[in-house]
Amino acid sequence: MSKAKNQVEEQCQEFREMFDSLRGEVAKVIVGHGEIVDNVLICLFCGGHILLEGVPGLGKTLLVRTLSSALSLKFRRIQFTPDLMPADIIGTNIVMEDKATGKRQFEFQAGPIFGQIILADEINRATPKTQSAMLEAMQEHSVTSGGTIHKLDEPFIVLATQNPIEQEGTYPLPEAQLDRFLFKLIVPYSNREELATILDRTTTANEPKAEAVIDAGQIIAARDLVKRVAVAPHVQDYAIRLVLATHPEGEFACGMTNRFVRFGSSPRGVQALILAGKVRAMLDRRYHVSFADIVQSVLPALRHRVLLNFEGQAEGIANDDILGEILKETPKAMEQDVNVP
């Protein structure tokens, strides 16, 4: 029994070292944004996609490029524009002629989605039709063209950037596509000290670069390890009740939910809470998920899965405010769980 325990401890220690080394490589280039970087890495080891929102110039694209440099994965960039078509992302069948026989046949030409780490830059500048081309790839890790299913290489992760909807020339992402993102992260402005460091790194001859420290096999093994972290029934139930509290008129709904929310989170929301909680537990040298692990992931995991009604939109209610009230109003343990250690 002790041998198995030692093996688990060694694996968790290796995971923390891997996480720290990846964080260190990203920090060579990215100044500040420590919480954003940690959440991006958590999504990577959960096997989920990430949506980064912020005004232009905050380093969203640079963050994704830096992460790709630190990973030995195939990197592809898709620049979303209003005239981008689905075939420009997925690929298409074209007619090819055999020079020897003169016969013609259709041959699939893969699009840029056939990578492992995909930068979907300014994803909300494309039309909903083009945005929907990402759905199958993000959910099934495959692409269908001409009736043929083409599997994508693993691991596969999409890191999408978007400008706030108020920016000119943007389209809101369809709810079905938003739900495919494990986390939605809001990238803030850099402070005075961070801006000074950015200038030191970008306006001198010594521009730092990230080096590849992790390969595909290590990521896949780490994801398997994450799934084996234990979750107690009462902690899992807390995550479930938090998600159910986003549904108006439901058993666990709070006042703001009933007043301002049209639709709440799908089951993918609670999956995101549990998986992210498992990663946070291992980073904290624990082999079980705590209430605090769940709480830390509520905003990034659920903010894009709460759809406001007309009143909420008219009053400018923020999804984060609704989730904040849900956290205050939802007890960590129900009455039947009071004796649970």
Q: What is the DSSP annotation of 291-330?
A: HHHHHHHHHHHHTTS-EE-HHHHHTT--HHHHHHHHHHHS
CB 319 within 8 A of CB 257: no
Q: Is 61 in the same domain as 147?
A: yes
Q: Is 93 in the same domain as 145?
A: yes
pLDDT band (50, 70, 90) for residue 340: very low
Which residues are registered as beta bridge partners of 148?
145
User: Residue 255's pLDDT is what?
Assistant: 87
- Which of 91, 174, 175 has its CA nearest to residue 126? 174
CA 249 from chain centre, in angstroms, equals 29
CB 289 within 8 A of CB 274: yes
Q: Residue 168: is its pLDDT beyond 70? A: no
Q: Is 236 in the same domain as 191?
A: no
Q: What angle do helix axes 2-27 and 267-283 make, rounded to 10 degrees?
A: 100
Q: Is residue 4 one of the residues assigned to a domain?
A: no
Q: Is residue 1 one of the residues assigned to a domain?
A: no
Q: Is 205 in the same domain as 302?
A: no
Q: Is 67 in the same domain as 57?
A: yes
Strand 75-79 to strand 214-215: parallel, antiparallel, or no bridges (unpaired)? unpaired
Strand 91-97 to strand 104-110: parallel, antiparallel, or no bridges (unpaired)? antiparallel
Average pLDDT over residues 278-303: 93
Q: Is residue 306 one of the residues assigned to a domain?
A: yes
Count of the separate structural domains present in the chain: 2
Domain range for 133: 11-228
Q: Is 217 in the same domain as 235?
A: no
Write down which residue in 228, 245, 260 finishes a domain: 228
Q: Is 20 in the same domain as 55?
A: yes
Write down which residue in 212, 228, 244 finishes a domain: 228
CB 148 within 8 A of CB 106: no
Write down which residue in 228, 253, 275 finishes a domain: 228
- Count how many residues are written for the chain: 341
Average predicted confidence (pLDDT) for the chain: 85
Q: Is 209 in the same domain as 260?
A: no
Identify which has the larger pLDDT, 104 or 282. Answer: 282
pLDDT per residue over 41-73, tens digit each? 999 999 999 999 887 777 788 888 888 888 888
168: enclosing H helix or E strand? none
User: Residue 31's pLDDT is what?
Assistant: 78
pLDDT per residue over 92-140, tens digit each? 877 777 777 767 777 778 888 998 899 998 888 888 888 878 888 888 8
Q: Residue 233: is its pLDDT beyond 80? A: yes
Q: Is 143 in the same domain as 236?
A: no
CATH no. for residue 193?
3.40.50.300
Distance CA 286, CA 271 (A): 19
User: Residue 57's pLDDT is what?
Assistant: 72
Q: Is 101 in the same domain as 81?
A: yes
Q: Is 240 in the same domain as 286?
A: yes
Candidate from 187-196, 199-208, 241-250, 252-261 with smallest mean pLDDT: 199-208
Q: Is residue 5 one of the residues assigned to a domain?
A: no
Copy the structure tokens of residue 31.
């100044």
Q: Residue 326: is its pLDDT beyond 50? A: yes
User: Residue 339's pLDDT is what?
Assistant: 47
Q: Is 20 in the same domain as 128?
A: yes
Distance CA 225, CA 265 (A): 27
User: Residue 39's pLDDT is what?
Assistant: 93
